[in-house]
Amino acid sequence: MPFRRPSTAPRRRAAGPLAAAAALLLGAGSASAGDAADATVSGGGVTLKSAVITLPSSDRGFPPGPHADAIESNCLACHSAGMVLNQPALSQAEWRNEVTKMVKVFKAPVSDQDADEIVAYLAAMKVDR
């Protein structure tokens, strides 16, 4: 058997069932949400079913006060103001633990200065329930 030099050109592979399923699901740009919720594609032992998720919305904002800008510019990326304002009244130490958890565990990109301001805001706020 003669020696064959390996090709340096990238190999082309046929699109697999997952690529075809993704193209089908993504290509249905004009489909309605109801159509997308019913889209199911199977291939190669894998079944993909699309889902439509409706997130709750809130027009509630944070009350003005010292450091409100820190909470608005950092926390609203993941939390609605309504969700934060519906939390039980916590002490400053308890809020510090919550903010620390968001930064350390959930990798929230919050500076130390903003974290201090967020804790001060949350500990001082009065929530109308």
How far apart CA 60 and CA 42 sit, in angstroms, is 42
For residue 125, the one-letter residue type is M
Q: Please answer whether residues 68 and 115 qualify as being in contact, where contact means their C-beta atoms are separated by less than 8 angstroms.
A: no
pTM exceeds 0.75 for this model: no
Q: What's the full length of the chain, in residues? A: 129
Model confidence pLDDT, tens digit, residues 99-118: 999 999 999 999 999 999 99
Residue 72 pLDDT grade (very low, low, confident, very high; cuts 50, 70, 90) = very high
- For residue range 55-70, list pLDDT tens digits in order: 666 678 899 999 999 9
Rounded to whole angstroms, how far apart are CA atoms 15 and 122? 51
Residue 24 has which token pair? Answer: 């089908």
